Structure 1
Amino acid sequence: MFGTTVFGYVRTLRINEAHSLLEQGKVNVSEAAGMVGYHNVSHFSLLFRKTFGCIPSEVCKS
């Protein structure tokens, strides 16, 4: 009906929130991952790259 699962929706919310945190430049990648509930930073980085097409540290620099 909505084109995604509940888990997919929550994952999208989490990764978008992490993107916002990184854009603000107040946290590093591991802090952003932890704040949105990812304890495995490499898994977070993979999902972030798959979603946004760049690695999380590239967002911090721009």
Structure 2
Amino acid sequence: MLKEIIDKFYLDRQRDRTQTHFYISEAGKCPRQVFFKFKNAPRKQMEANILRLFDHGDHMH
């Protein structure tokens, strides 16, 4: 029960992420990748456990 609630939180938060400006770290990336990310093109959704892992890593740094 609790795991499903946490998973839903991470999946909802992933859907709400929109890029509003250009990051300098993207300067060397593929121009198509940067364009599609900036224009919010549909992409494959990550699994909730991967999102939790990334979030944990963000808090560690």
TM-score w.r.t. the length of structure 2 is: 0.25
Structure with higher RCO (Cα < 8 A, 6+ apart): 2
**What's the TM-score, normalizing by structure 1?**
0.25
Q: Select the structure of larger CA radius of gyration.
A: 2
User: Greater helix percent: which structure?
Assistant: 1
